[in-house]
Amino acid sequence: MKKQYLLFLLLLVLPASLLNAQALYVDATATGANDGSSWTNAYKSLASALNAANANPAITQVQVAQGNYYPTGDNAGTGRNAAFRITRNNLQLLGGYPSGGGVRNALTNITTLNGDIGTAGNNSDNSYHVVLVTNITGGVSTVLVDGFTIQNGNASDSYTGATGRGGGIYLSQNESHTVTINNCILTSNFAGLGGGIYMEGAAGADMPTSNASLVSNCLFQNNTAYIYGGGASSRNCAPSFVACTFNNNQTLANTIGAAGGGAIENRNCTPSYINCIIMNNTASDGNGGGLYTRHSKVRISGCLFENNRALEGSRSNGDGGAIFDADYDASQYGPYPSQNTIIHTKFIRNKAAGDGGAMYNLFSNATASNCLFLKDTAAHGSAVNMEANSGAGIVITNSTVYGNYSPGAAGGVLSMFGSGSFLRIHNSIVWNNNTGIVAEPAAGMPYSYSLVQGQSNTGNGNLSPAGIPDDGSTIFGNIAADDYSLAINSPVIDRGANGLYDAATFGNNDLAGNPRFMGTAIDMGTYEQVDAAMPVHFGALSAVMQKDQLTVNWTTQTETNNDHFDIEASTDGARFKKLATVLSKTPNGNSSIALEYSFSIHDAMTTVLFGGIAGVFLLCLGFEGHKRRTKGVPGLFIAVAVLTYSCSKNEPLQDANHTRIYLRIAQVDKDGKKEYSKAIQVVRE
């Protein structure tokens, strides 16, 4: 019998700069003078405190104790325009304090900003926006919102205006003011655009680089948009999302027009997504199950797109299971200005009813490097689909495309349609997909220094697939465990071309963080083969969870100049967090005999150590989910993940959506150089 668990992981850092500011205090349980001068005399209403702070530039902080706060003061209020408003610069809104004051801890002191101001459970009378940051006055400075659960906003009025955008947060800014949203959970919000958050800058500039707000360590979950951006929508700005999780957001089939971006939508923006997880999101009758971007320059680094869906309907083919990127505006901006860069990113089990299981590009450019396209599905281009008339294209470098599926034989794993367009493949592996490459015209998809199953072209440095098993078992380390690092004697080792890899753009590391250049030439595919170059030669490596204890065992066959080992873990095999350090057993760092190591991490220690992993970390610790603390949201914390998962004995540890837990050993020599073992999966017993 499988059990269901919830794990909420905290990443909350309180800078020293927040400690000495002039503050107002808010506590729903306070019994004093209600003037905000101290915790004893704290405001009971956060809206009252913000009104006072907006009018007084000497106030630089509003500190809020745990509790449930409504923009109208209580949940019997009226007036859907009611919101928690910030209208001036240099103001920090901080949640997570205990009742009566004390040490701030957003993990235990849940502070909820709730838009359910009218009839409980009836969202038709909810606030349009829970938090409203707009019309900021004052010089160049910053606004910070940190440590809150933001829920039940309903921007359901005119979708062409502000009251139809940003149910959780509506943020309008000019280029001189930076807004940071940190350590927040945005859940159960609704809008026409940007169910969780809507951000916009001043119109006019083409793909502006100003208006650069930061959203970090936030969870967007169960938000809905009627048209675009279930979790987030951005227009005319340059936001950065760092270590955020977008889970189970959606856009709806609507009666207005085209829709998309189950998790995120951008238009005329230059956004970046760093170490984010975008999973289980849906564009219903729309494009871009995870991300919909139009006329934007997007940078994606270290992200995971998993199990996102673009569904077909009366208005859409359902293109771009993970990402839909389009640039229709050549008459206004010139031909194909969009140039997206995607590095060190995984696309796993995304699905498009139409084209492009992982990526769909329409009249736009993109580069993808150190990426893994795994088990994605679409009618055409089960991994990637490119369509344009001329001049636009995609370049895929040092990536692995494996196990993707198109139901029709003509579907293609990588497909390209349109005269003069291109989809180029360099230093990559395309293997064990149920269909081959489809290009119209065929000349538009050249590949070089690559291994492509079903292709006999051995010119331009390409390898012949002859003699390699269909499942690629001689190429990869452990396919059964979804380990696509290279086997010890893989035929693709040192067979790439260094000149085709742009380290300045793509970085000096592979998807696992290992150095990209290690042998006589760069390897093909996503991962560089590392074992042969390591001063420590590993034997067996295992990681087992037994009740409340994680035990890691490994053996070294030999050690040279070794100092210590770092035990690291990850949910996606790309972003690892150090759990512990174990010193070498050798007195001088050298050993020619096998040595055995073992290290155990108990429940409490594991919880603390895993908390710093960006995005989501799912770990069975053997305790039941937390009870409900706020209406409609079970046990919300300032977290980077809130997901349900299952564990059974003797199977790889993973969540209900097949997110696995990986572990590796980093070996550090006495000169400080670090090398890595292969990643393995944690098993529960």
Average pLDDT of the chain to the nearest whole number: 82
Instruction: Write out pLDDT tens, residues 322-378.
Output: 999 988 655 444 444 568 999 999 999 999 999 999 999 888 889 999 999 999 999
* Least confident residue range of 38-47, 186-195, 383-392: 383-392
What are the domain boundaries of the chain?
70-86+111-316, 319-533, 535-684
Single out the residue of 445, 256, 421 nearest to residue 327, CA to CA.
421
Strand 429-431 with 291-294, pairing = unpaired
Q: Which two tokens stand for residue 326?
A: 């389009």
Neighbours of 602 (CB within 10 A): 12
pLDDT value of residue 418: 76
Task: Round to whole Å and give the CA distance between 379 and 394.
Answer: 19
The phi and psi torsions of 584 (rounded to 5 degrees) equal -65, 145
The pLDDT-based confidence of 153 (bands split at 50, 70, 90) is: very high
Single out the residue of 279, 285, 233, 287 nearest to residue 260, CA to CA.
287
Q: Which CATH architecture has domain 535-684?
A: Sandwich (2.60)
pLDDT value of residue 419: 74
Reported in sequence order, the residue ranges of 363-510 that DSSP labels E, i.e. its strands, are: 365-369, 372-374, 384-387, 393-397, 400-402, 414-417, 422-426, 429-431, 438-440, 447-448, 451-452, 476-478, 483-486
Residue 507 has pLDDT above 70, yes or no: yes
Q: Which two tokens stand for residue 345?
A: 């990113």
Exposed / middle / buried, residue 481 (Cβ in 10 Å: 0-12, 13-18, 19+):
middle
Instruction: Write out pLDDT tens, residues 595-625.
Output: 999 998 875 344 433 443 333 333 322 222 2
> Cα(first)–Cα(last) distance of the chain, in Å?
13
* Least confident residue range of 179-188, 322-331, 424-433: 322-331
C-alpha angle with apex 223: 219 to 228, nearest 5 degrees? 110
* Least confident residue range of 4-8, 418-422, 648-652: 4-8
pLDDT value of residue 313: 79
Task: Round to whole Å and give the CA distance between 73 and 176.
Answer: 32
Decide: helix, strand or coil at residue 402. Answer: strand
Neighbours of 411 (CB within 10 A): 24
What secondary structure, in 3-state letters, does 581-633 show? EEECCCCCCCECCCEEEEEEEEHHHHHHHHCCCCCCCCCCCCCCCCCCCECCE
* Least confident residue range of 41-45, 314-318, 585-589: 314-318
Q: What is the pTM of this model?
A: 0.80
Q: Which two tokens stand for residue 133?
A: 């940051």
pLDDT value of residue 74: 62
The pLDDT-based confidence of 53 (bands split at 50, 70, 90) is: very high
* Least confident residue range of 272-286, 325-339, 445-459: 325-339
Task: Round to whole Å and give the CA distance between 674 and 325.
Answer: 38
Task: Round to whole Å and give the CA distance between 277 and 302.
Answer: 9
